[in-house]
Amino acid sequence: MRTRDLIEGVLNKSSVFKSKEKLYPEYIPPELPHREKQLRELALLFKPLLTEPGHISQRVLLVGGIGTGKTVTARAFGREFSSLAKSRGINLEYIHVNCYRDRTLYTVISSIAKQVGMPVPTRGLSAQEIYLGLLEFLEDENKYIIVALDEFDYFIDFAGSEAVYFLVRTYDEYPEYTKRINFIFISRNTLSLSKLDPATESYLLRNIIRFEPYTAKELYDILDSRRNLAFYEGTVSDEIISYIAEIEGRDTGGRGNARVAIEILLLAGEAADSEGSPRVTLEHVRKAHITVNPDIAILYDTLFYLQLHEILFLLAAIRTLRRKQQPYVRIGEVEEEYRNVCEEFGEKPRKHTQVYEYAMNLKKLGLIEAKTSGKGYRGKSTLIGINAGPLEFLELKVLDILNKKIGERVHGRTH
The residues binding ligand ADP (CB under 6 A) are 25, 29, 32-35, 64, 66-72, 222, 258-259, 262
CB of 95 to ligand ADP, least distance (A): 16
CB of 147 to Mg ion, least distance (A): 15
Give which of ligand ADP, Mg ion, none residue 159 binds (C-beta under 5 to 8 Å, depending on kind). Answer: none
Q: What are phi and psi of 360, to 5 degrees?
A: -65, -35
CB of 204 to ligand ADP, least distance (A): 18
By beta-carbon proximity to Mg ion, the closer residue of 71 and 82 is 71
The burial of 188, by beta-carbon neighbours within 10 Å (0-12 exposed, 13-18 middle, 19 or more buried), is given as middle
CB of 66 to ligand ADP, least distance (A): 5
Number of other residues whose CB lies within 10 A of the CB of residue 356? 16
Closest-CA residue to 327 (of 202, 237, 400): 237
Closest-CA residue to 43 (of 71, 67, 79, 68): 79
Nearest position to ligand ADP, beta carbon: 69
CB of 262 to ligand ADP, least distance (A): 5
By beta-carbon proximity to Mg ion, the closer residue of 155 and 328 is 155
User: What is the residue-wise DSSP string for 303-350?
Assistant: GGGS-HHHHHHHHHHHHHHHHHTSS-EEHHHHHHHHHHHHHHTT-PPP
Give which of ligand ADP, Mg ion, none residue 285 binds (C-beta under 5 to 8 Å, depending on kind). Answer: none
Give which of ligand ADP, Mg ion, none residue 222 binds (C-beta under 5 to 8 Å, depending on kind). Answer: ligand ADP
By beta-carbon proximity to Mg ion, the closer residue of 186 and 290 is 186
CB of 50 to ligand ADP, least distance (A): 25
d(CA 240, CA 347): 36
By beta-carbon proximity to ligand ADP, the closer residue of 108 and 306 is 108
Q: Are 74 and 28 in contact (CB under 8 A)?
A: no
User: What is the residue-wise DSSP string for 4-42?
Assistant: HHHHHHHHH---SBS-GGGGSTT---S--TT-HHHHHHH
Q: Which of residues 30-89 bind Mg ion (CB under 5 A)?
A: 71
Nearest position to Mg ion, beta carbon: 71
Q: Residues in the site for Mg ion, rule: CB under 5 A?
A: 71
